[in-house]
Chain A
Amino acid sequence: MNITDFIFQFFSYGILIYSVSLLLFYVLIVICSIAEIKLYIRKSSFTDYNLLASSEYAPTVSILAPAYNEGANIIENVRSLLAVHYNNIELIVINDGSKDDSLQKLIEAYNLVKIPFLVNEKIKTKPIRGIYKSNNSLYHKLIVVDKINGGKADALNTGINVASNKYLVCIDVDCILEQDAMLKLIKPFLEETKKRVIATGGVIRIANSCEIVNGKLVKVHLPKQLLPRMQSLEYIRAFLLGRMAWSRMNGLLIISGAFGAFDREIAIKAGGYNAATVGEDMELIVRMRRYMHENKLPYKVSFIPDPLCWTEVPGSYKILGRQRNRWTRGTIETLQIHKKMFFNHRFGILGIISYPYWFFFELLAPLIEFSGFVFFIISLISGYIKWPFSILLPGFIVAFGFLYSIFAILIEVLTFNQYKRRSDIFKLILISFAEPIFFHPFVVWSAVRGNIDFLRKKKSWGEMTRQGFNSQKSINHLRA
């Protein structure tokens, strides 16, 4: 075997072995997620969540909603959050130095007045300009914090300092919550007796094309646009299979920043959100877990498969590219900050399985896939390629990808079945076949660009233009 043959064989089999390992992980994920979802659904069939909503003995919760230039919809969004089905709550809206009239609108709509309020700055943040509460007893649960712009993580840290309740629920102000979302999110904290539950999260679903009236989801539709539709499938796969499986293994590394609950005491002890990273949601979970491990405290990060929160996803390649670029940089930053855990048995499953999985199969996957593609093209041009093998290899990987997607759709149908029409399920199946051509290569490319931007030390969030649920254009970029 000469050196060129050797390199060719090495790459071919290297990629194949990598792919097979990834696929074996996927099989493990499927097995674990089925077990976890089955258990959850059986448990839920006995549960009366309303108990939590009405009981005066239910734990207290602080909802933290950071807002930057959300003036267009802020009044409705806050009203929707105030109407959330849970009694023992306080709602803290953090105006992160908005340049629009968000604060003024809130003051007028909710009769807010500036009050003296001691904030115990347990986590360092940008200065607070003022704290407002309502004169109207109807809105006694509302606290509005006006602060200097510091980004989403800084705004959430301010909220943590202001909060007085036992649990924190961090939410994107423009998310649409299910009626019982808060109850379902809080319950796992109360169920566990042997371990302390430090964070919980639920399934995020895609609201594009859904019917939303007065901040409430009225009817679910599969997105009409191609890109959001593909993301629907991607979200089903990621949440119903991936996160449920990691929850089963107690190896979950991320709770979505759009809607997640945390134990306030542990979040503060771990140091709160890291304002220096663009992946602050993942970083906080990893740091909280690391804190618990280092202090030898038994704990759990819980995840529930119920669709709790609906959000709008990018409808254009430009915005999607920015989002995926940022997610990639966030992942790299988090893994870099906590590199100590890599294959470190002191961190248990976190160090031995979760971190390496994220490193090899989330962080490196796009790079390996991209270099594999480049290698394929070079081999093709140089005539080195063995035709049948080089068709069969990607064919095998793509076929397995289809199988994984179809399986995710099956789990969705068997469990929560949000898309009631059979035609919607049929469209989802069709999308699973189109995804490897129209969606996946772009996501891989965006991740590669994320790696490049990370090396260039780019720190921006990038502008995230949303179409808005009322077809109004609004701009959401928390870091200027």
Chain B
Amino acid sequence: MFTFLNFFSGGIEKIINYLGQHFFTQQTLFNTIIIVGFLIIILIGFIFIYLFRKKKLWRRKVFLQISLNNFIGEIAICESEDELNEVYSNPAHQKAMRQFQRREMDRNLLISELAETSKKFRGITMDNILWLFEKMNLEKQLVKNLGNKKWHKKAKAIQQLAYLQQKKSIKYIFSFTNHENDLLRMEAQIAIVKMIGFDGLKFLNTVTYPVSEWQQLRLIEELSSHHAADLRNMNQWFKSENLTVLNFTLRLVEIYRLYDFYDEVKDCLSHQSMTICKTAAVTISQISNETTADLLVAHYPDYDSFTQLKILEVLQVDGTKNQLPFLFSLLDHGDDSYKLEAAKAIVKISKSGMEKIEKMVDGTLFPWNIIVPQIKNVA
């Protein structure tokens, strides 16, 4: 033991000596402090230079925005090309526009403002904004941005092309809909749908990367501003190996009540992915027919508790007397949530449901002393 300690302390001593001689010398520490001190001074200097520059840029941006807003305000209400040309040739506006054309940064600001404005308008105002966009030859700048190596600049350009309805670039944008960069890919998908609506969903035929839940929400929202088109070509999406495509397809069926796809949704109830089964259970309740409730009860044992409870909720709307024996059997379930949902479904399906439940259970004991009044309270 003593020998070990001696050996150990000897080893430590050697390390200490080595470090002391080679790394942690007084001179090294002193030099490091000086370097760190310089770095601190440089960073503080940078902070204030940045703040001054930011303020200067902000002032210029505000100035340009005011000029632009006045200009766009006048352009937006023009009713003919002559009027547009007249406003455009106004010397004050010409001066402002020349300022915008001078620097790339300002041109990009102008494009951003036009894209932002175009979000808010439709019809003739939108046409006038597009007229201005073309008149100022800003497409050239956007195409340049699209060729930028930085993904965020490229994605921004795609977004702006879509806002400004530059349909000439659809083919090029489409090539990004299965791009490896997820943000670039997402913007391209949204851009295509924004410009051509439901037809833009053709990217679902080829996309191999997942379509995130966030992206699905965005697509649904984007589609809501387009007239629902013929979606009979969805068959191949049901066969997609990309599960997120299948999930999204089920959501489309649910939202647009696409009864033609009942059989495809039915097949999804026995899909190997539980996520797909859950979505399919919710979807089929929206396109239900007289066989749906029995179908859901048949699949019920294969599902996890979340989906099972979802099915019980569906039965509260679509259930028939056929499912009553199944529902009564759940009144003995070990989990009180099942008892509650089953009891709710029974009461919804059968007028004498509550009476039968009260005969079967002891209403003075937990949980029935709460479930029974809760259902009566809601009813």
Contacts and interface: CB of A to CB of B under 8 A. Distances in A.
A403 B337 contact: no
Interface size class of A (residues with CB under 8 A): 35 or more
Nearest to B366: A118
A151 B98 CA distance: 66
A189 B214 CA distance: 9
Nearest to B211: A193
A117 to B, nearest CB: 6
Contacts of A187: 214
Nearest to B158: A46
Nearest to A192: B212
Interface residues of B, number: 53
A55 B220 contact: yes
A61 to B, nearest CB: 14
Contacts of A395: 29, 33
B26 A410 contact: no
Interface string A3-44: 000100110010011000000000000000000000000110
A191 B212 contact: yes
A118 B374 contact: yes
A403 B43 contact: yes
Contacts of A120: 335-337
Given A10-B16, A13-B24, A392 B220 contact: no
Interface string A111-154: 00001111010000000000000000000000000000000000
Contact of B217 (A6, A16, A190, A407): A190
Given A118-B367, A422-B51, A1 B336 contact: no
B152 interface: yes
A396 interface: yes
Contacts of A422: 48, 51
B44 interface: yes
B141 interface: no
A45 interface: yes
Chain B interface mostly helix, strand, loop or mixed? helix
Contacts of A194: 210
B187 interface: yes
A58 to B, nearest CB: 7
B156 A403 contact: no
A393 interface: yes
Given A190-B217, A393-B29, A399-B36, A9 B16 contact: yes
Chain A interface mostly helix, strand, loop or mixed? helix
B172 interface: no
B326 interface: no
Nearest to B13: A1
B371 interface: yes
A80 B306 CA distance: 32
Contacts of A193: 210-212, 244
A51 B218 CA distance: 7
Contact of A399 (B33, B155, B187): B33
Nearest to B306: A265
Contacts of B36: 396, 399-400, 402-403
15 contacts: A6-B12, A10-B12, A13-B15, A13-B20, A43-B183, A46-B152, A46-B156, A116-B377, A120-B335, A190-B213, A190-B217, A191-B214, A396-B33, A399-B33, A429-B44
Given A193-B210, A194-B210, 20 more contacts: A9-B13, A10-B16, A13-B15, A42-B152, A57-B217, A115-B377, A117-B370, A117-B374, A118-B367, A118-B371, A118-B374, A190-B217, A193-B212, A396-B32, A396-B36, A399-B33, A399-B40, A406-B47, A425-B51, A429-B44
Top 5 closest A-B pairs, CB basis? A193-B210, A116-B373, A190-B214, A392-B29, A190-B213
